[in-house]
């Protein structure tokens, strides 16, 4: 009888210790602490709903607008070049109406893919988290074979309903925390994603608001073309411009 009590007490201690251990990590990897109020909207917006195919058109050299190793048809001769001291990797143009209001705006620039930025230093997004280290994110991306932005968006879509509870393994608690962290630090709220294929690969963020952000992926870089004021830059006109892109 005494031995039975000892076994029972030992078992209770193990159970209490186990659940205490899990409760600690459930609190430690508490995704609610990030306060990503629009998390579901961001994730739902990453769904690919359309696709366009780029067929490159060669123009005369004097017909291009050139920035770094990017070229595009220069339909912006009536646009004003804006001062941009904050980021030398982007150039911005704006077209004004007779009342000096912005009628349309076009930006182009170069940055890294989201996946590459996450691998290097997430603090560049202006948010630091003592729980998550860069090596944690790199390991997470490697373990789930996430090597491109599109693969990242697809993974986020497939796992958007993951929640931590006391029965979740600690490994998956951490993964779910990382998912929320990536969304919190970098991804914008968009309506949908348009996939780009053909002579160039990439995607378009159809953002909530009056603009689209085009990302052409080449040489592990994002070559970005942003179109503001969609009554001026229609889908047909944007595609026409994209067909003239040249990236060396």
| Residue whose token pair is 């729980």 | 131
CA–CA separation, 78 and 37 (whole Å): 41
CA–CA separation, 154 and 61 (whole Å): 39
pLDDT (0 to 100) of residue 38 = 77
pLDDT (0 to 100) of residue 125 = 54
CA–CA separation, 58 and 164 (whole Å): 53
Asked if 127 and 134 touch (Cβ cutoff 8 Å), the reply is no
CA–CA separation, 79 and 92 (whole Å): 9
pLDDT (0 to 100) of residue 101 = 93
What is residue 31's DSSP assignment? G
SS3 216: strand
**What's the CA angle centered on 229, arms 186 and 75, to 5 degrees?**
105
Cα distances from 106 to residues 93, 129, 183, 218, in angstroms, run 5, 34, 26, 21
CA–CA separation, 35 and 32 (whole Å): 6
Token readout for 64 is: 């291009």
From first to last of its 248 residues, the chain has per-residue pLDDT tens of 666 677 677 777 777 777 787 888 888 888 776 666 677 888 888 888 899 999 999 999 999 999 999 999 999 999 999 987 667 889 999 999 999 999 999 999 999 998 988 887 666 554 556 777 777 888 889 999 999 999 999 998 888 878 888 888 888 888 888 888 888 777 888 899 999 999 999 999 998 888 999 999 998 899 999 999 999 999 999 999 999 999 98
Cα distances from 247 to residues 20, 41, 219, 243, in angstroms, run 56, 33, 10, 12
Q: Is 145 left (phi over 0), alpha (psi -120 to 50) or beta?
A: left
pLDDT (0 to 100) of residue 37 = 67
Q: What does DSSP say about strands 190-198 and 48-54: parallel, antiparallel, or unpaired?
A: parallel
SS3 43: helix
């Amino acid at each position: 009888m005494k031995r039975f009590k000892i076994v029972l007490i030992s078992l209770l201690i193990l159970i209490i210790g186990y659940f205490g251990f899990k409760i600690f990590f459930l609190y430690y990897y508490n995704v609610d602490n990030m306060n990503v109020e629009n998390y579901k909207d961001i994730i739902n917006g990453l769904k690919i709903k359309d696709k366009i195919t780029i067929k490159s058109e060669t123009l005369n050299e004097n017909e291009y607008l050139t920035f770094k190793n990017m070229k595009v048809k220069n339909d912006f001769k009536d646009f004003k070049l804006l001062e941009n001291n904050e980021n030398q990797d982007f150039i911005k143009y704006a077209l004004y109406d007779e009342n000096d209001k912005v009628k349309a705006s076009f930006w182009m620039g170069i940055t890294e893919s989201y996946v590459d930025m996450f691998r290097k230093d997430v603090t560049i997004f202006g948010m630091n988290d003592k729980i998550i280290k860069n090596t944690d994110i790199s390991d997470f991306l490697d373990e789930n074979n996430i090597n491109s932005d599109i693969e990242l968006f697809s993974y986020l879509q497939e796992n958007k309903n993951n929640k931590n509870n006391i029965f979740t393994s600690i490994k998956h608690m951490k993964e779910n925390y990382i998912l929320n962290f990536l969304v919190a630090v970098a991804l914008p709220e968009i309506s949908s994603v348009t996939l780009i294929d053909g002579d160039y690969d990439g995607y378009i963020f159809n953002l909530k608001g009056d603009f689209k952000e085009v990302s052409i992926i080449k040489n592990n870089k994002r070559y970005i073309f942003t179109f503001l004021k969609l009554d001026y830059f229609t889908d047909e006109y944007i595609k026409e411009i994209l067909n003239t892109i040249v990236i060396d």
